[in-house]
Structure 1
Amino acid sequence: MSSTSTSHIYFGYGSNLWLDQMSRRCPSSPYTGIGLLRGYKWFINARGYANIAPSSNPSDEVWGLIYDLTPKDEAQLDINEGVPVAYEKRVIPVLFTPKKGSEEEEKKREVVVDMLVYIDFRRNKGGYKPREEYIHRMNMGIKDALKEGVPKEYVEEVLREYIPEEGGDEELARRQAGLFRDESGVIEPVEGEVFLG
């Protein structure tokens, strides 16, 4: 995995598990491997989208796919993720495992790397249903994540608690995969903030 001072290593844990969605949103930012974030819990928040939060349960963990973001792609991803209204950016240490067939994977190299993670601190409780279009995007991402080595047990025990195996608005999901637009009106700027998405 190569990273320069002008790029960020990004940990995607929600619909950005879908490789096609990330290639549309961030075309210059390659997928590089899988990541494991320990001490965090994955859930669907009040907006109907994936979020994570620190957990007091030491067995909680979040798996994701890793991308090497260029500055231009990061700026586009900020718009898609609704920064700073829907999500905020943080850098958190994540255990990185290189993608299958890479030079690093052949060396069996796992390392802890500081990675860019998007977190919604305002809507930080779970127990909500996912938005209809999000179900399809998550299911596409789950297929890719499993192919890349994210454990099936994690998918069944964590993601499937919120994401049914079938359903969702496929047409809207494919549009949202390119350039996300909050058509529901859920994202409302907090007083004093401006949302440019």
Structure 2
Amino acid sequence: MKEDKILNLAYGSNLNLEQMAYRCPTAKIYGRGMLLDYQLLFKGREDNAYATIEPKRGSKVPVLVWELQPEDEKALDYYEGYPRFYEKKDVELTLETGEKVTAMVYIMTDEVMDRIQLNLPRQSYLETVKAGYARAGFDKKYIEAALGVSGKGKA
């Protein structure tokens, strides 16, 4: 019996192909799509926030879907601080090809309260995310919108 594929939905630094090749050498891009009714945000400590998503009706987030091997998922669990910093959730989406898939996504938890405040990311992290967006062909307006909303948390 063939095992089901492990599909992972990436929306932040895991869009960066070089970073994923280093961290998860057997991961392969499975497809691209838009996650509907979610918005991209940056949350964390001041000048050290990370990308996350949260439900928001009418919003959307461009995503890459990776096909992972079990060792890739373990590496991502470690990188994402699962289960304390990010938790996993299965979400459904339709890829650009029209295929409907269910993929696992990492979403920031509210476990550590000082990490979940809206804030801006460190410049190096932001550049990693922007490079991923550029290589995937995604519109950077989603990053700009996330920075606008997240920067308001710095009152």
TM-score (normalised: structure 1): 0.65
1:117 aligns with 2:105: yes
How far residue 41 of structure 1 moved from its aligned partner, in angstroms, is: 1.0
| In structure 1, distance between residues paired with 2:99 and 2:4 | 20
Which structure's residues are more often strand, by fraction?
2
| In structure 1, distance between residues paired with 2:28 and 2:147 | 26
Q: Which residue of 2 aligns with 1:178?
A: none
What are the within-5 Å matches in structure 2 for residues 1-197 of structure 1? 5=3, 7-47=5-45, 48-55=49-56, 57=57, 59-97=58-96, 109-122=97-110, 127-146=118-137, 150=138, 152=139, 155-156=140-141, 158-162=142-146
**Runs of 5+ in structure 1 lacking a partner?**
98-108, 165-197
Q: Is the 8 A contact 2:10 2:64 kept in 1?
A: yes
Q: Is the 8 A contact 1:11 1:35 kept in 2?
A: no
| In structure 2, distance between residues paired with 1:8 and 1:34 | 15
How far residue 39 of structure 1 moved from its aligned partner, in angstroms, is: 0.7
TM-superposition CA deviations, 1:23-44 (whole Å, max 9, x none): 1111101112212111111110
Q: Which amino acid aligns with 2:131?
A: M
Ranges of 4+ aligned residues in structure 1 off by more than 3 Å: 123-127, 161-164
| In structure 1, distance between residues paired with 2:16 and 2:71 | 20
| In structure 2, distance between residues paired with 1:163 and 1:142 | 14
| In structure 1, distance between residues paired with 2:53 and 2:23 | 21
| In structure 1, distance between residues paired with 2:135 and 2:28 | 14
Q: Is the 8 A contact 1:16 1:22 kept in 2?
A: yes
TM-superposition CA deviations, 1:144-192 (whole Å, max 9, x none): 121xxx3x2xx21x2123459xxxxxxxxxxxxxxxxxxxxxxxxxxxx
Residues 62 and 125 from structure 1, CA distance in 2 versus in 1: closer, same or farther, beyond 3 angstroms?
farther
Residues 160 and 129 from structure 1, CA distance in 2 versus in 1: closer, same or farther, beyond 3 angstroms?
same
